[in-house]
Amino acid sequence: MPRLLLLDGHSLAYRAFFALPVENFSTATGQNTNAVYGFTSMLVNVLRDEQPTHVAVAFDVSRQTFRSEEYADYKAKRNKTPDEFKSQLPLIERMLTCFAIPFLKVDGYEADDIIATLVTDALADSDDTEVLILTGDRDSLQLVTDRSTVLYPMRGVSDLARMTPAAVEEKYGVPPHRYPELAAIVGETSDNLPGVPGVGAGFAARWINTYDGLDNVIAQADQITGKKGEAFREHLGDVIRNRRLNALVRDLPLGVTIGELARSDWDRAEALALLDELEIRGELRTRILDVVAPGEDEPVEAGVELDGVTLGPDEVAGWLAETGADPVGLHVGGTWGSGTGRVDGLAVALADGRAAYVAVEGLSPADDTALAAWLADAARPKVLHDAKGPSLAVAAQGWQLAGVAEDTALAAYLVAPDQRSYALADLTLRYLHRELEQSADDDQGMLFDEGDTTARSAMVAARAALDLSVELADQVERAGGHRLLTDVEMPLVPVLAAMEQTGIAVDVDHLESLESHFGEEVRKEADEAYAVIGKEINLGSPKQLQVVLFDELGMPKTKRTKTGYTTDADALQGLFATTEHPFLAHLLRHREVIRLRQTIEGLLKTVQPDGRIHTTFHQTIAATGRLSSTEPNLQNIPVRTEEGRRIREGFVVGPGFESLMTADYSQIEMRIMAHLSEDALLIEAFRSGRDFHAETASRVFDVDPDAVTSEMRAKIKAMNYGLAYGLSAFGLSQQLGITPSEAGGLMDEYFETFGGIRSYLTGVVDEARRTGFTETIMGRRRYLPDLTSDNRMRRESAERMALNAPIQGSAADLIKVAMLRTGAAIEAAGLRSRILLQVHDELVIEVAAGEREALEALVRTEMAGAADLTVPLDVSVGTGLSWHEAAH
């Protein structure tokens, strides 16, 4: 049976916008997504539950319709549409286009009129068509029949009431075709249509049923007694106008037939790209893909022909000998993490269509020798996707991986650094327009058992990596990323793999003692907080905190949210700064020590049997080029607090080594600012060798460096570090505890002194707006299309990124080059010392006995030579038995 689903796009998107907190749904660029998220969730739910054969979405064009022309106050009391909502409508339309769902608009008419026309056409075209109308507008209840049902959202975006003829009559006391007559009498607040004063839905329904319709009620108005009858007669003009306006138009020329609304093939590649752009992932992403194309297993385009074979005993050497010297795709099947891994099987794919799969289990000695030699042969170029994990697994197998000609994950990252996913399946779809899991057809001469899906999938993945490398080569070149890929990112892979294999030693007893200490602190702060307010509450419950803070303690209200007033960290810090209330002091401290305890708990869980923590470094997470650390994240260990330093005391030198060494760049981002801005005074301040912040403060305040007070230095230090992040006068005032006007004056004085910085910061945004991207010293690009957005929030967010990306990205590039130079120099000098960690601008190195002096000289030289800037790269070095002791 044909089933037509019609959705009121504006109504549902608006409902979603207010049902989901806008502050909780936004992308890294600042684009709000709550309406898109909620609308899409409703859409996929109803597609899943109702299984329509035909679908369409109707949108309003504007508030100017034939109804507003007749009655100027129609919908006049509605609030101005929020900009955060308007910016999401084009995204919803893009989503519908990806899903191949038509959407319709007609100037001068509302979405309800489009829906009414489609319902009328559908019911007239066929006697067996069923129509479902998903809308939050009650005017559509007049469209309900035995074959047309309104799905009305009751709460939020998930609970739908099924409004059949019986349901409408039960709720409103009149059949659906009489509902607009009832609405004409009682009025419609949302449309600003005033009804008859004192007459509710019950009385209106009684009149309509008694007199058989509104026309007869009007004709016999004189017979209605009492004050309600008098009020009806006095407002008869309003009733007649209301009925005229709430009547839906059923014959609009839409230029589309019901047959053209049949569900059709969707654009999966574009949909995935849009989901990435909107950062929609997790459960909703899975639900979208499952519902829009359930069970879809065909490639988007024709797959690739493979002459594949699963190699049996003693067949490996012969097959590998025929691979030649051209690049091949290599896929390693297995698991990896915590510095190690396991290989289950390997697949090799050649450009001529041949492919082979080797299962590790059951390898003969001859196979093992041949495979190990081939993997270690640097003259045999291999293309892998995200090569670091496979290299760890290969090393754990006792082999060595050499000759990696390209890593397609890194290539894709340099082409589009803001993507949320660089999974091989996504990239294959995005760039090759085919599904990863499938080959061209079922009978393409694959020479392995039909049930051997592991071998088939591995060979298809190997071929995908090889084809991706070809497709991405030109794009990397156009993005200016070839040098970064070949000279920095790919050479860094084995360095990071070695660091992950090595790990860093920890003092488990010390960390367990700290965990116990912070556990006691959590309990103590909770007890003291309870003592202040005289009762126990759940300190993690926003609702209970709202009652205590704003009702019982009468504190100033914070920012209002859907669930009350916010109790997030920033809001509580602001309240404490204003009130200095002891309850807030204990609450904030309670939250802090909980975080510290959780940090230590996470560290202890990841200690391996060798007594070391093996973090995992990622090159494709941060769009600026910075490395990220996970499982555990060793880049967020607090460093500026005493308790953070106590945690760092738990990271120690391992057995057989003498000490830990830390080396980092001093004021690296400001040095890059000096180089990029070419500001003469800033360059001179660095070249002077004196305290940089005091030197710049002396110039801003026009005093001798010796006369710079700690307060002056603190103000200029905040300026120095904040400028590259788009620091505003308000932000500076918050940091320094001064008024915005004072902060603005300070910024004016700063820019008057360092005019080159102002020119650079203005110019870098203008240039990025012109070209569409920013660029680091080494040519790393970040594309910022929102610089030209008409949405102010997105545009300003992109402007802040344009200020930050060249400086932070250049710093990321420099520390990567420093790692490469330092690692190569350690190896060339024959030292046993080894790099363990990279934490932003800092390297942590384990020093072998007797190598400290030589290592320090080497580190200073290599790090200082990582780039040729107009100012010196100052390197600070420290040593000690723990990470904390090695600080400087």
Confidence of residue 289 (pLDDT cuts 50, 70, 90): confident
Domains (range + CATH), the chain? 3-167+248-261 (3.40.50.1010), 307-482 (3.30.420.10), 504-603 (1.20.1060.10)
DSSP state of 551: I
Q: What's the CA gap between 153 and 39, in Å, rounded? A: 12
Confidence of residue 158 (pLDDT cuts 50, 70, 90): low
Cα→Cα distances 392→320, 326, 486, 548, 654, Å: 22, 24, 20, 53, 21
Number of alpha helices (DSSP H) and beta strands (DSSP E) in the chain: 36, 27
The pLDDT of residue 724 is: 62
Phi, psi (5° rounding) for residue 343? Answer: -100, 125
Average pLDDT over residues 217-230: 88
Handedness of CA 414, 419, 420, 422 (dihedral sign): negative
Average pLDDT over residues 204-210: 91
* Range with lowest mean pLDDT among 132-136, 329-333, 447-451, 794-798: 447-451
- Residue 850 reports pLDDT greater than 60: yes
Confidence of residue 441 (pLDDT cuts 50, 70, 90): very low
Confidence of residue 159 (pLDDT cuts 50, 70, 90): confident
| Token code pair at residue 558 | 């914070």
Confidence of residue 203 (pLDDT cuts 50, 70, 90): confident
DSSP state of 111: H
- Residue 450 reports pLDDT greater than 60: no
Phi, psi (5° rounding) for residue 142? Answer: -70, -10
- Residue 755 reports pLDDT greater than 80: yes
The pLDDT of residue 591 is: 94
Phi, psi (5° rounding) for residue 149? Answer: -125, 140
Instruction: List, for residues 321-344, the tens digit of each pLDDT value.
Output: 988 889 999 999 999 999 999 999
The pLDDT of residue 792 is: 74
Structural element, H or E, at residue 579: helix 569-579
Q: What is the CA radius of gyration of the chain?
A: 34
Query: Which range, 259-273, 603-617, 768-782, has the best average confidence (pLDDT)?
Result: 603-617
The pLDDT of residue 293 is: 61
The pLDDT of residue 189 is: 82
- Residue 406 reports pLDDT greater than 70: yes
The pLDDT of residue 89 is: 93
The pLDDT of residue 619 is: 96
* Range with lowest mean pLDDT among 23-37, 220-234, 391-405, 648-662: 23-37
The pLDDT of residue 554 is: 92
The larger pLDDT score, comparing residue 75 to residue 853, is at 853
The larger pLDDT score, comparing residue 832 to residue 231, is at 832
Strand partners, 3: 130
- Residue 661 reports pLDDT greater than 60: yes
Structural element, H or E, at residue 737: none
The pLDDT of residue 446 is: 36
- Residue 175's Cβ-count burial label (10 Å; 0-12, 13-18, 19+) is middle
Amino acid symbol at 765:
V
* Range with lowest mean pLDDT among 233-237, 448-452, 633-637: 448-452
The pLDDT of residue 125 is: 84
| Token code pair at residue 148 | 């047309």
The pLDDT of residue 785 is: 81
- Residue 519 reports pLDDT greater than 50: yes
- Residue 542 reports pLDDT greater than 70: yes
- Residue 156 reports pLDDT greater than 60: no
The pLDDT of residue 740 is: 85
- Residue 438 reports pLDDT greater than 70: no
Q: What's the CA gap between 87 and 740, in Å, rounded? A: 30
- Residue 226's Cβ-count burial label (10 Å; 0-12, 13-18, 19+) is exposed
Q: What's the CA gap between 566 and 564, in Å, rounded? A: 7
Query: Which range, 388-397, 731-740, 759-768, has the best average confidence (pLDDT)?
Result: 388-397
Single pTM value for the model: 0.70
User: What percentage of the chain reaches a pLDDT higher than 90?
Assistant: 60
Long-range contacts of 148-156, Cβ-Cβ distance < 8 Å, separation of 24 or more: 148/119, 148/123, 151/46, 153/12, 153/15, 153/42, 156/15, 156/19, 156/20, 156/38
- Residue 294 reports pLDDT greater than 60: no
Confidence of residue 437 (pLDDT cuts 50, 70, 90): low
Strand partners, 835: 845
* First-residue to last-residue Cα distance in the chain: 76
Cβ(886)–Cβ(662) below 8 Å: yes
Q: Assign 862 to helix, strand or coil.
A: helix
Instruction: With CA atoms as reference, report the closest residue to 652 among 778, 764, 511.
Output: 511
The pLDDT of residue 155 is: 63
User: What percentage of the chain reaches a pLDDT higher than 70?
Assistant: 95
Cβ(613)–Cβ(844) below 8 Å: no
Confidence of residue 297 (pLDDT cuts 50, 70, 90): very low
Confidence of residue 112 (pLDDT cuts 50, 70, 90): very high
Confidence of residue 440 (pLDDT cuts 50, 70, 90): very low
Residue with tokens 């009020």: 231
Instruction: List, for residues 701-717, the tens digit of each pLDDT value.
Output: 888 888 989 888 888 88
| Mean model confidence pLDDT for the chain | 89
Q: What's the CA gap between 181 and 191, in Å, rounded? A: 15
Neighbours of 704 (CB within 10 A): 8
* Residues whose CB falls within 8 Å of the CB of residue 167, separated by 6 or more in sequence, listed in order: 161
